[in-house]
Amino acid sequence: MKKAVFATLAALTLVGCGQKVSVDQSTMCIYTNDEEAKQCTAGEMSWYKPGSWGNKQLPMSVAAAYCDFNYEVMYNDAGVICVFTDKRLSLVQ
């Protein structure tokens, strides 16, 4: 009896493991500066599209400020694509 209860509890604990939360793929907030980023909504896809290239630290700074690291983050010198979060907006100067 104890084994059956344990097995049931273990199975219930694992329900949902490996499943990804769906993010709306039909919309994207595109921003080039902090003021525009503050118009984005938490949980939506976002694309930081810099006005000029050359600062290799900028994509990392944007990701640190605006990306939800529970999801994949794509970045290079040309920008950042990620799921937006507003949890760290107070840290943006």
Residues 29-59: tens digit of each pLDDT: 999 998 999 899 999 999 999 888 777 888 8
The mean pLDDT of the chain is 80
Average pLDDT over residues 6-34: 66
Instruction: Give the sheet arrangement for strand 79-83, strand by strand.
Output: 29-31, 45-48, 79-83, 74-76
For residue 41, the SS3 value is coil
pLDDT at 27 over 80: yes
pTM of the model: 0.72
User: What pLDDT is recorded for position 29?
Assistant: 96
